[in-house]
A and B are shown apart, each in its own frame.
Chain A
């Protein structure tokens, strides 16, 4: 048997180049097939690895533990909207159990949620400043500085009114007068009144009344207020920083232990908080300098330039009269223009092309930006986050923005940069965790609804209060005393006071450990043994009687995690189709080659080769062809991967940064992939030789004889 095989292989090798056509077709297909599998497999492996690093190194950790009775699956990078997760009542207990599992390095408490944040429009902000100054004045402050400030703010508001009125007039000019709604007419009338000299002459007589008019009738007309969808993770911020070594603070400073605070993801901060005009300039500059695109040829860049030309209001509204004059002069000089309207000057300034861009970009940042607020929310500001709690009531909290952070290598990834951070205690407040007692109380209150006059908006506070029962029960070092909201209906100012007080309140770091969490990120010592760790953690928590489940980072990452699977599936499907086609083509080529060899096969049969020998010969020949060219293809593929690995594949879009886990992907060769590539082409080549081999087997030895019959 063995000697037959040896003879077969010997003859197969000798016949390797018997038919050039066969060799060209079969060899070519097999070569490229093996190349494809090697390169594709290695790239996929590297992307999977890159994503694994992106996901495990940023938020997820290697393993996520969350409530087993959760209605939804945990999806850390998943879509917006809250997932319905069962809470884990005591992180401390969970941590103690999980930390005992041998491979576990760290356990970080977490909760993931989202909220809408209204950043407030520019007019609101200026009016608030004006109101504060006026209030001081009415309280008796008559200092020249304050009076000057009031005048400056008034001028700024007048200017804003002018900007809005100009827009209103444009609108009226554009739209058929009959199509204007009553609201449009009311708005126009309010603007006319606010723009009139009479209004401002009367302002000082009754400033509070005038302010109310401006706040109610004018401010809403400026639609630059933005609802921000804020996705955030509440965690033990110090433990988070220690556990995810890619984490680093960019602006500002970390939230000190025991302090409540908020950290913006740098990407989110730049993308959503920054002055849009400036953000677009940044993007254009990156496209020009890094990606080598040109405004002239790229429609996307042209769109951004046009948007900058048209959307100057965001800048105009920010400027008080002095700044307006200064900016007008700067731009007139820069542009050599006699134009006096700042809006038009800005529009022509932002009409940049490839030649003027670099100069104007620097001019914007060096000369114009100092007069502007580049970020709607600055580091050091207080952010009001309003969220709906699990009981369905809204809850708001003021948090100081301590800074921004990013994950090293993923600076440009929107996915890694979409999730912001806050301290866990504030997260718990916003999320409205329920203890069993609370749950009973909710039921009781709901039953008694109507009997007690509870302002729905504050029912949550009724339930939990500033120092809710949950807090009181679980945080022994009692927080500083809070004004207990005993009043059935809390007035707005009081609620604001309550918010501010909450923001100022510190907490004992131990509180982090004791309380409720939604999930916990587990960082392993050996990242390759995730499955084992999941089994161990599952077993340990089960023994401890905890109602939790452990899932891998892939499962926890939601859609993103499933993307890895999808990539794999798509690639394998593509391979399957390609190789099915290859099978057919190779089969055809081998049938043709066999028909050309009928006389040779007949001769072999005549001189004493058995049918099985002929069958084996053809199969071994095809397999040899597959092996030789498959090996070559895999070799060249390995070379390509090595080359790519040395050069790196640049991430051409921001999203790709996440998949590549950095600006470039350096693919590395997986030996298993090479083996797989060769194995696949061997199988395909062998399978496709079965039919032609069967045909060859049936060739009669008579074919060898020159037939003169």
Chain B
């Protein structure tokens, strides 16, 4: 299992007025291809900051962050954007769908940005993914017409439509009730298996962690340890 994400000694400092806040105080993390990794920790532990570094939406103050074999510190803003577009899919806590666009258009958006595919190809891929997240009938709906769980399914479809190597999910179930959250996790897990896509998601919910292949515990900007949850062990991972 080769590492698709490699973080070594990552430090992230924020200036909060005159005070410097260290969100990450030297984090080391290796994520293998095809993992279904959960980053767990309480609020303010640095989960989101770590995900931001891995997702190339932020850069480390010091340390090394390698994503898909590339050292993000050496990439320009433009190249980082390219990397996000082609290599990483994002699932957000509050879904972040574009409200004026239909379900189909929301999912199509990254493909439009890639400018690689014809209309027909885009359409086929979007419908295929909507079928897999169980929303084939809702392609023409607006996000506002969907439930929270349905919206997060759309977000999952959008994250996977470019066939990224990594999907990052920041508290994907935080805004959902527990049953829906379970379902969303199950769907992500299934896609992780069928597509061989690496999933990294943050959570502070023990039930959610139970789905992960591995859990990295983080607190006060430091990695406490990596463990295999009981459920994952039970599945024989």
- A residues neighboring B (CB under 8 Å): 3-4, 7, 10-11, 14-15, 17-18, 599-600, 602-611, 613, 700-702, 704-709
What are 10 A-B pairs at a CB distance below 8 A? Answer: A7-B115, A11-B112, A15-B98, A18-B100, A602-B96, A603-B96, A607-B90, A608-B162, A610-B78, A706-B48
Closest-by-CB residue of B relative to A11 is B112
Q: Which residues of B contact A603 (CB under 8 A)?
A: 90, 92, 96, 98
- Give which listed residue, A599, A613, A701, contacts B113 with CB less than 8 A: A613
- Residues of B165-187 whose CB lies within 8 A of A: 170-171, 174
Chain A residues with Cβ below 8 Å from B43 are 708
User: Which among A11, A17, A605, A709 is the interface contact of B81 at CB below 8 angstroms?
Assistant: A605
Query: In the complex the two chains form, is B52's CB within 8 Å of A702's CB?
Result: yes
From residue A585, how far is it (CB to closest CB) to chain B in Å? Answer: 23
Bound-state Cα–Cα, A599 to B98, Å: 9
* A607 & B115 in contact (Cβ 8 Å cutoff): no
- Given A602-B96, A608-B86: 12 more A-B contacts, CB < 8 Å: A18-B99, A18-B100, A603-B92, A605-B81, A606-B84, A607-B110, A608-B81, A608-B82, A608-B85, A700-B57, A704-B90, A708-B171
Chain B residues with CB below 8 A from A14, complex form: 100-101, 105
* Cβ–Cβ < 8 Å partners of B158 in chain A: 607
Task: Please measure, in the bound complex, the distance between the C-alpha atom of A14 and the C-alpha atom of B103, giving whole angstroms.
Answer: 12
Interface size on B, residues (CB 8 A): 42
What total count of A-B pairs have CB within 8 Å?
95
- Cβ-defined contact, A607 with B57, below 8 A: no
Residues of chain B contacted by A609 (CB below 8 angstroms): 81, 85, 113
A611-B158 Cα distance, complex, nearest whole Å: 20
Establish whether residues A702 and B81, one from each chain, have CB atoms under 8 Å apart when the complex forms: no
Give the residue of A10, A704, A707 whose beta carbon is less than 8 angstroms from that of B96.
Answer: A704
Known: A606-B90, A610-B81, A706-B93. A17 touches B98 (CB 8 A): no
Residues on B with beta carbons closer than 8 Å to the beta carbon of A3: 115
Of all chain A residues, the one with the shortest Cβ separation from B78 is: A610
Contacts of A706 in B (CB 8 A): 48, 92-94, 170-171, 174
Among residues of A, the one whose C-beta sits closest to the C-beta of B170 is: A705
Output the least CB separation between A226 and chain B (Å): 76
A606 contact set on B, CB distance < 8 A: 55, 57, 84, 90
For the complex, is B49 an interface residue (Cβ under 8 Å from A)? yes
A708, B44: Cβ atoms closer than 8 Å: yes
- Bound-state Cα–Cα, A11 to B110, Å: 12
- Nearest residue, chain B, Cβ from A14: B101
Smallest CB–CB gap between A12 and chain B, Å? 11
A709 touches B57 (CB 8 A): no
Q: Tell whether, in the assembled complex, residue B44 and residue A705 are in contact, meaning their CB atoms are under 8 Å apart.
A: no
Q: Which residues of B contact A (CB under 8 A)?
A: 14, 23, 43-44, 46-49, 51-52, 55, 57-58, 77-78, 81-82, 84-86, 89-90, 92-94, 96, 98-101, 105, 109-110, 112-115, 158, 162, 170-171, 174
In the assembled complex, which residues on chain A have CB atoms less than 8 Å from the CB atom of B44? 708-709
B96 adjacent to A600 (CB under 8 Å): yes
Distance in Å: Cβ of A18 to nearest Cβ of chain B: 4
Interchain CA distance A4-B57 in the complex, whole Å: 22
Listed from nearest, the 3 A-B pairs whose CB atoms lie closest are A608-B85, A706-B93, A701-B57
B48, B55, B77, B109: the one within 8 Å of A707 (CB): B48
**How far apart sit A18 and B101, CA to CA, in the bound complex (Å)?**
9
Kindly report which residue of chain B lies nearest to residue A3, judged by CB atoms: B115
In the complex, what residues of A have CB within 8 A of residue B162's CB? 608
A709 touches B23 (CB 8 A): yes
A8 nearest CB neighbor, chain B only: B112
Contacts of B23 in A (CB 8 A): 709
- CA A604 to CA B81, docked complex, whole Å: 10
Assembly CA distance A102 to B84 (angstroms): 72
**Cβ-closest chain A residue relative to B93:** A706
Q: Are A608 and B114 in contact (CB under 8 A)?
A: yes
Q: How many Å from the CB of B234 to the closest CB on chain A?
A: 30
Quote the shortest CB–CB distance from B54 to chain A (angstroms): 12
Query: Measured between alpha carbons, how far is A357 from B174 in the docked complex, in Å?
Result: 88
Report whether B57 and A15 are in contact in the complex, using a CB–CB cutoff of 8 Å: no
Q: How far is the CB of A602 from chain B (nearest CB, A)?
A: 8
Partner of A702 from the list B57, B94, B100, B109 (CB cut-off 8 Å) is: B57
Shortest distance in angstroms between A132's beta carbon and chain B's nearest beta carbon? 97
With a CB–CB cut-off of 8 A, which chain B residues contact A611?
77, 81
